[in-house]
Amino acid sequence: MYAWLYRHLPGPRGLRPMLAVLLLLVLVALLMFVVFPAVEPVLPSGKVTLSS
């Protein structure tokens, strides 16, 4: 899958790694700011207590 994605990125060979990193950063930002906040209300409570 990654090879397919890399082959289909536009631009010369030297630009493709930068585009791949940019695509990864956009994906992480989309997950952090859109997807995770949207699904957080339906997740079980995260209240964890540890006792010593």
Q: Is residue 8 in some structural domain? A: yes
Task: Give the model's pLDDT for residue 5.
Answer: 85
pLDDT, tens only, 1-52: 788 888 899 999 889 999 999 999 999 999 999 999 999 888 887 777 777 6
Question: Which tokens hold the place of 39?
Answer: 């699904």
Task: Give the model's pLDDT for residue 1.
Answer: 73
Give the domain range for residue 8.
2-41
Q: Is residue 52 in some structural domain? A: no
How many domains are contained in the chain? 1
pTM of the model: 0.71
Q: Is residue 51 in some structural domain? A: no
Q: Is residue 16 in some structural domain? A: yes
Residue 21's nearest CA partner among 36, 2, 1, 34 is 2
